[in-house]
Structure 1
Amino acid sequence: MAEITAATVKELRERTSAGMMDCKKALAENNGDMEAAIDWLRAKGLSAAAKKAGRTASEGLVGVTVEGNRGAVVEVNSETDFVAKNETFQEFVRNVAKLALQTGNDVEALAAAAYPGGGTVQDKLTENIATIGENQSLRRAAVLEVSEGAIVPYVHNQVVPGLGKIGVLVALESAAASDTLTALGKQIAMHVAAAHPLALNADDLDADLIERERSIAMEKAKESGKPQNIVEKMVEGGLAKFRKESALLSQLLVHDGKTPISDVVAAAAKDAGSPITLAGFIRFQLGEGIEKKQEDFAAEVAAAAGTNKAEPVA
C-alpha cells in the first residue's frame, strides 16, 4: 500500500473539499491512488471534484485568432503568472496563434514552423526562455473552420486583446448576415466559457468518460439499498442527466438558465430567415488537466524538525 502522508490528504482535500477524515479513508481504501480516491469520494457523495476538475493548474496564456472562416486557439505555459504580463511573451503567443492557422492541431508542426524574423517557433521559444529566465512550453493548438458562415472568438479573463485565461471558438455554418452570426456566436462562446461543455452532442461524449460516470452512479445507487431494478433505473437516469448537462446543444443557456442552446440557435435562424448550424466549438482553459506542483508543507515541517520526511498519517 502506498504511503499516505499529511501532504496527500491535504492535496485530496484541496481538490475535493471533502473532510479530512473522509479524505484519509478514501486514500486508504484506494491504496493511496489520488484519482481513484476522488472517484470514491464522489461515489459516496462527499466530493465536489467534478465541478472543480477544470481549475487552472499552471500559468501562461491562451491565444485566440480568426482570419476569414478559420480560427485557431493555442496554449503556451510558463512557470508564473508574472510572465503572462511580459510583452515579449504576449507577442510570442499572438504570433504562434496566427501560425497555427496554417499548421492546424499538430503541435510538433507548429513548433517547427518558421517564426517571423528568422528561425522556428521552437527556436524563438528557447530564446524567450533564456531571455525571460523562466521555463515555457508550447502545450497545444486547435483549429476550427467553416465553408460558409463564421468562426466567432471569445477570450475570458483577457489580459490583452486575443490573449487570456480561457479561449473559445464557435463555428456557425450559415448564409445569414455576418452581424447576426457574430452576435449569436459571442453569446454561445460566452456560454461555453462558463459552462464547459464536453462535446457538441451527447453522442460525441467520450465512451470512457461515460463508463466512469456509470461506475460512480452505480456505487451511489447501490448505497440507497433499493432493489436492483430500481438501482438500474437510477443509474440510467443519472447518466441521461450527465449527457444532457455535458453536451453543448442540450445545455441550458447560462444567461437565462432555461433555454437549451439548440433552441437559441433555432430562434436566431428563424429571425435571420436562414438556416444556422452550430457546427463545433473549441474551449481551452489555461492549465486545464495539468497538475500544478504542490508545496509539501508536511515535509517542510519535518525537515525543520530534523527528520528526513513527513510521518505517514496513522
Structure 2
Amino acid sequence: MAEITASMVKELRESTGAGMMDCKSALAENDGDMDAAIDWLRKKGLSKAAKKSSRVAAEGLIGVSSKGLKGAIVEVNSETDFVARNERFQAMVSEIADLALVARGDVDALKAASMSDGKSVADYVTEAVATIGENMNVRRTGYVEVSDGIVATYVHSQVVPGLGKIGVLVGLESGGDKAKLAAHGRQLAMHIAAASPIAVNPQDVDSSLVERERDVLAAQARESGKAEEIIAKMIEGRLRKYYEEVVLLHQVYVIDGENTVGKAIKEMEKDVGAPITVAAFVRFAIGEGIEREAGDFASEVAAAAGA
C-alpha cells in the first residue's frame, strides 16, 4: 500500500476543497492515486466545495457569544441571504461563536478548533459548502474581556438569539451594580451598532487615518485663501468635528439624542454606584469591506433560462 504523505493530502485538499480527513481517506482508499482519489471524493459529493470557492461570499451571519467576563464575535459568510436563513447554517455559526470564546480573537486558532463532531471548524465549513451548495467561510473574529465588570452584547436584525446582520461587543470595567451595568451596556452596544464608532478615545484612532483626514481638511481650508494661522485653526476645529463623528466618547448618544456618550456614561456611573471605563468594543456588520460582484440580473435570468 502506498504511503500517504502530508503533502499528498495537502495537494488533494487544495484541488478539491474537501476536508483533510476526507482527503486522507480518499488517498488511502485509492492507494495514493491522486486522480482516483479526486473521483472518489466527487462520487461522495465532497469535492463540490472547490467549484464554489471562487464565488463571492458577502452574505451570512454575525454571531456573538458571552460568558462571564468575556465575549466573542464571529462573521461567517455565505453567498446568499437565503442560506443565512438555513437552520443548519445558523446552528453552525452559533457553535463557531461559542468556540470563539476560546480562540480569543485569533481566526486561525478558531478555524483549527474542534466542533462537536470532532472535525475542525475549517473542515466542518468545507463539508457544509459541499452539502449546502454555496461558498462559505469564517472571515473574522473578535474578543473582549474585562477584569471586573461586564461584556455586553447586541445583535441587530436578529434571526435567532445571538445571530444577525450586525453584532456588537462592549466591555465595561466597573465595580458597580452588575445588573444595572449590564442594562446600560446593552444600550451602549445598541449605540455602537447605530453610530459605527472606530475608537473609544481620540488617541485610539489610527494615526494614518488622522493624518489623511488632516490632509483633506488642509486642502479644503486653503481653498478659502485665508492666512496660514487661520487655516491652522480651521483644521483643528474641523478635526474636532471629525472626532465627534467617529470617536465613541465624543459621539452624541443615540439613546437620548442630546448628551455625548462620555457625558451619558457619567450619568450611568451615578446609577451603578461606581466609575465606568469602556475597556474595548468590537462591531461587525455582515459583508463590510467585501467587494461584491456587480451582477446583471437580466443576463443571469437569461442564462438560467438557457437563452
**TM bin (shorter chain):** 0.7 to 0.9
> Which residue number corresponds to residue 173 of structure 1?
173
The 5-angstrom pairing of residues 47-196 of structure 1 reads 58-196=58-196
> Which residue number corresponds to residue 9 of structure 2?
none
Unaligned runs of 5+ in 2: 1-56, 301-307
> Which residue number corresponds to residue 293 of structure 1?
293
- Per-residue CA distance 1:152-211 (angstroms, 9 max, x = gap): 110011111100010001111122222101111011011000000110100000011111
Q: Distance in 1 between matches of 2:247 and 2:202?
A: 5
Q: Which has the larger displacement, 230-239 or 138-147?
A: 230-239
Q: Distance in 2 between matches of 1:58 and 1:126?
A: 17
- Per-residue CA distance 1:75-123 (angstroms, 9 max, x = gap): 0111111111011111111011100100111111110111111210011
Amino acid at match of 1:243: Y
Q: Distance in 1 between matches of 2:271 and 2:153?
A: 22
Match of 1:288, SS state, is coil
Q: Distance in 1 between matches of 2:161 and 2:184?
A: 20
> Which residue number corresponds to residue 204 of structure 1?
204
Q: Distance in 1 between matches of 2:212 and 2:227?
A: 22
1:223 aligns with 2:198: no
Match of 1:291, SS state, is coil
Q: CA deviation at 1:279?
A: 1.4
Q: Distance in 1 between matches of 2:294 and 2:219?
A: 30
> Which residue number corresponds to residue 272 of structure 2?
272
Q: Distance in 2 between matches of 1:239 and 1:276?
A: 27
The 5-angstrom pairing of residues 23-42 of structure 1 reads none
Q: Distance in 2 between matches of 1:274 and 1:233?
A: 38
Q: CA deviation at 1:255?
A: 2.2
Q: CA deviation at 1:136?
A: 0.5
- Per-residue CA distance 1:17-41 (angstroms, 9 max, x = gap): xxxxxxxxxxxxxxxxxxxxxxxxx
Match of 1:198, SS state, is coil
Q: CA deviation at 1:58?
A: 2.1
Amino acid at match of 2:101: L
> Which residue number corresponds to residue 10 of structure 1?
none
> Which residue number corresponds to residue 305 of structure 2?
none
Q: CA deviation at 1:219?
A: 2.1
Q: Distance in 2 between matches of 1:227 and 1:268?
A: 44
> Which residue number corresponds to residue 240 of structure 1?
240
Amino acid at match of 1:273: G
Q: Determine if contact 2:149/2:174 at 8 Å carries over to the other structure.
A: yes
Match of 1:220, SS state, is helix
Q: Distance in 2 between matches of 1:225 and 1:131?
A: 64
Q: Determine if contact 2:244/2:252 at 8 Å carries over to the other structure.
A: no
> Which residue number corresponds to residue 22 of structure 1?
none
Q: CA deviation at 1:296?
A: 6.5
Q: Determine if contact 2:181/2:272 at 8 Å carries over to the other structure.
A: no
Q: Distance in 2 between matches of 1:291 and 1:232?
A: 37
Larger Rg: 2
> Which residue number corresponds to residue 214 of structure 1?
214
Q: CA deviation at 1:226?
A: 2.4
Match of 1:92, SS state, is helix
Q: Which has the larger displacement, 215-224 or 79-88?
A: 215-224
Which 4+ residue blocks in structure 1 deviate beyond 6 angstroms? none
Match of 2:151, SS state, is strand
Amino acid at match of 2:282: I
Match of 2:153, SS state, is strand
Unaligned runs of 5+ in 1: 1-56, 301-314
1:256 aligns with 2:253: no
Match of 2:134, SS state, is coil
Structure with more relative contact order (C-alpha pairs < 8 Å, separation 6 or more): 1
Match of 1:66, SS state, is strand
Q: Determine if contact 1:265/1:278 at 8 Å carries over to the other structure.
A: no
Q: Distance in 1 between matches of 2:258 and 2:181?
A: 22
Q: Distance in 2 between matches of 1:261 and 1:236?
A: 21
Q: Determine if contact 1:115/1:121 at 8 Å carries over to the other structure.
A: yes
- Per-residue CA distance 1:243-281 (angstroms, 9 max, x = gap): 232111121101222211122111111222222222111
TM-score when scaled to structure 1?
Answer: 0.74
